[in-house]
């Protein structure tokens, strides 16, 4: 009976394996202690009582799922700011490298590079503005005990805000890639290592952010489904 | 009513020293003379939430039975938060006590 209860609980929390494992061990220890302390000294009746006093597995899982979503939301907010900072540093590093090795960027401006450069600049600053707003919205928000209708609305808002920050950031990194490719041309030499390296950092940063966003989205879906009637 | 004060209740149970979830529940029941018989399944999410907020820390220990057990303890921030909760509650309790005593006196004199 205990193992069935624990299975239900950890299956409901399977979207966050580390949490599911921790909760399973803690609850198992609790139930075993409750059974040992039962006046009937163990047996099926004691197991029944211990489980009944602990509460419905789905309801308990829903409370843990809320915490998991809140934690992921906080991580996503922090990742958003760190990634924007990382992309900015990589971008500035590459520009500084061009200045050291190839002089000012402005002299080989073509209409295409000018347009892509503008897209890059505006999309990056758009990502900064929305990203900062999302971070301020996410961090410091109290964690509720359950994903109620109000919290569900907040989660939707966070997802939309983060997506609105990620989309222009991705566009900015793509534009950076295009500009870097145009500047480097077909030749690859030791000089190209810094632009390629900084581009790899930008792509890696955005990849991390997309990964956190994807985890947040799937945890939200699971948490909401646990509370669905 | 208890739900709104769950964090303070859990912090109070841990103020005397580190404890695992089951012991926290037992302490709450014993120290409140069984008045606070909370659903046990709500205590663990509360412990996790307080840990996430940095008010508690936790670590695994191995019990005599050989089972792994998670032990929770107040952090410095948790101690400060508990002291703040306690001061506010004391103020509220004193004010409410005065208010009810005044109402009782008025009833007697009427």
Judge if A108 and A216 occupy the same domain: yes
Strands laid side by side in the B56-62 sheet: B19-20, B68-74, B56-62
The pLDDT, as a whole number, for residue A1 is: 79
Does residue B102 sit at the A interface (CB-CB below 8 Å)? no
Average pLDDT over residues A182-186: 75
Judge if A125 and A101 occupy the same domain: yes
Q: Best residue in A42, A63, A151 to probe B by mutation, most B CBs within 10 Å?
A: A63
The pLDDT, as a whole number, for residue A84 is: 94
Name the residue in chain B with its Cα closest to that of A36: B65
Q: Do the domain assignments include residue A31?
A: yes
Judge if A89 and A38 occupy the same domain: no
Residue A145's domain spans which residues?
67-226
The pLDDT, as a whole number, for residue B63 is: 81
Judge if A197 and A131 occupy the same domain: yes
The pLDDT, as a whole number, for residue A150 is: 79
Judge if A143 and A32 occupy the same domain: no
Q: Do the domain assignments include residue A130?
A: yes
Give me the DSSP letters along A55-83: --HHHHHHHHHHHHHHHHHHHHHHHHHHH
Average pLDDT over residues A106-133: 86
Q: Is the pLDDT of residue A228 over 70?
A: no
Does residue B53 sit at the A interface (CB-CB below 8 Å)? yes
Average pLDDT over residues A91-118: 78
Q: Specify the higher pLDDT residue, A189 or A157.
A: A157
Q: Is the pLDDT of residue A26 over 60?
A: yes
Q: Is the pLDDT of residue B89 over 60?
A: yes
Closest residue by Cα to residue B48 from A225, A2, A25, A35 = A25
Token pair, residue A141, equals 């928000």
Name the residue in chain B with its Cα closest to that of A35: B22
Q: Specify the higher pLDDT residue, A129 or A111.
A: A129
> Which of A31, A55, A79 delimits the end of a domain?
A55
pLDDT band at A200 (very low <50, low <70, confident <90, very high): very high
Chain A neighbors of B81, CB-CB under 8 A: none
Rounded Cα gap, residues A2 and A216, in angstroms? 31
How many structural domains comprise chain A?
A: 2
Q: Best residue in B40, B52, B55, B65 to probe A by mutation, most A CBs within 10 Å?
A: B40
Average pLDDT over residues A195-203: 92
Judge if A166 and A94 occupy the same domain: yes
Average pLDDT over residues A64-70: 87
Average pLDDT over residues A184-209: 85
Q: Is the pLDDT of residue A105 over 60?
A: no
Judge if A44 and A99 occupy the same domain: no
Q: Do the domain assignments include residue A33?
A: yes
Q: CATH number of the domain at A192, please.
A: 1.20.120
Determine contact, residues A22/A68, Cβ cutoff 8 Å.
no
User: What are the residues whose beta carbons fall under 8 Å from the beta carbon of A118, sequence distance 6 or more?
Assistant: none
Q: Which secondary structure element, helix H or strand E, spans residue A21, and what is its range?
A: helix A17-37
Judge if A112 and A173 occupy the same domain: yes
Q: Is the pLDDT of residue A62 over 80?
A: yes
Judge if A126 and A41 occupy the same domain: no
Distance from CA of A130 to the nearest CA of B (A): 26
The residues facing B20 across adjacent strands are B71
What is the tens place of the pLDDT at every residue in B8-55? 999 999 998 999 999 999 999 888 888 887 788 889 999 999 998 899
- Average pLDDT, whole number, for chain A? 86
Average pLDDT over residues A115-139: 91
The alpha carbon torsion through A155, A70, A19, B11 (nearest 10 deg) reads -140
Judge if A34 and A136 occupy the same domain: no
The alpha carbon torsion through B91, B94, B95, B100 (nearest 10 deg) reads 160
The pLDDT, as a whole number, for residue A58 is: 86
pLDDT band at A109 (very low <50, low <70, confident <90, very high): low
Q: Do the domain assignments include residue A171?
A: yes
Rounded Cα gap, residues A64 and B44, in angstroms? 9
The pLDDT, as a whole number, for residue B3 is: 59
Judge if A196 and A123 occupy the same domain: yes
Rounded Cα gap, residues A122 and A200, in angstroms? 21
Q: Do the domain assignments include residue A95?
A: yes
The pLDDT, as a whole number, for residue A185 is: 73
Judge if A109 and A11 occupy the same domain: no
Listed range (A67-71, A74-78, A166-170, A188-192) with the worst mean pLDDT: A188-192
Does residue B65 sit at the A interface (CB-CB below 8 Å)? yes
Rounded Cα gap, residues B20 and B11, in angstroms? 13
Asked if B41 and A66 come within 8 Å (Cβ–Cβ), the reply is no
Q: Is the pLDDT of residue A104 over 70?
A: no
Rounded Cα gap, residues A191 and A19, in angstroms? 47
Q: Do the domain assignments include residue A178?
A: yes
The pLDDT, as a whole number, for residue A186 is: 62
Closest residue by Cα to residue B6 from A220, A143, A147 = A143
Q: Is the pLDDT of residue A50 over 80?
A: yes
Tell me the backbone φ, ψ of residue B69, rounded to 5 degrees.
Answer: -135, 135
Asked if A63 and B53 come within 8 Å (Cβ–Cβ), the reply is no
Token pair, residue B70, equals 């998670």
Q: Do the domain assignments include residue A60?
A: no
């Amino acid at each position: 009976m205990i193992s069935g209860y624990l299975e239900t609980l950890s299956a409901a929390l399977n979207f966050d394996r580390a949490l599911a494992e921790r909760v399973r061990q803690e609850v198992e220890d609790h139930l075993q202690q409750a059974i040992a302390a039962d006046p009937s000294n163990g047996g099926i009746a004691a197991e029944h009582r211990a489980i009944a006093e602990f509460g419905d597995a789905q309801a308990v899982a829903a409370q843990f799922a809320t915490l998991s979503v809140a934690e992921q939301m906080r991580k996503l907010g922090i990742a958003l700011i760190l990634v924007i900072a990382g992309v900015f540093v990589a971008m500035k590093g590459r520009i500084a490298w061009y200045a050291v090795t190839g002089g000012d960027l402005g002299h080989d401006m073509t209409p295409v590079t000018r347009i892509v450069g503008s897209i890059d600049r505006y999309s990056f600053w758009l990502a900064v503005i929305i990203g900062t707003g999302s971070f301020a919205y996410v961090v410091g928000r109290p964690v509720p005990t359950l994903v109620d209708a109000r919290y569900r609305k907040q989660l939707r808002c966070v997802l939309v805000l983060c997506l609105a920050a990620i989309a222009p950031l991705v566009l900015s990194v793509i534009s950076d890639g295009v500009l870097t490719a145009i500047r480097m041309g077909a030749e690859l030499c030791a000089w190209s290592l810094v632009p390629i390296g900084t581009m790899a950092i930008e792509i890696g940063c955005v990849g991390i952010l997309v990964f956190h966003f994807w985890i947040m989205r799937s945890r939200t879906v699971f948490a909401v489904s646990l509370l669905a009637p | 009513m208890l739900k709104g004060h769950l964090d303070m209740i859990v912090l109070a149970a841990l103020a005397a020293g580190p404890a695992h979830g089951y012991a926290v529940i037992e302490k709450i029941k014993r120290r409140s003379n069984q008045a606070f018989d909370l659903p046990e399944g709500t205590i663990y999410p509360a412990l996790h939430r307080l840990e996430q907020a940095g008010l508690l820390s936790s670590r695994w220990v191995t019990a005599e039975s050989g089972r792994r057990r998670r032990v929770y303890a107040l952090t410095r921030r948790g101690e400060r938060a508990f002291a703040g909760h306690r001061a506010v509650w004391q103020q509220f309790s004193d004010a409410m006590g005065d208010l009810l005593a005044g109402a009782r006196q008025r009833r007697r004199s009427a």
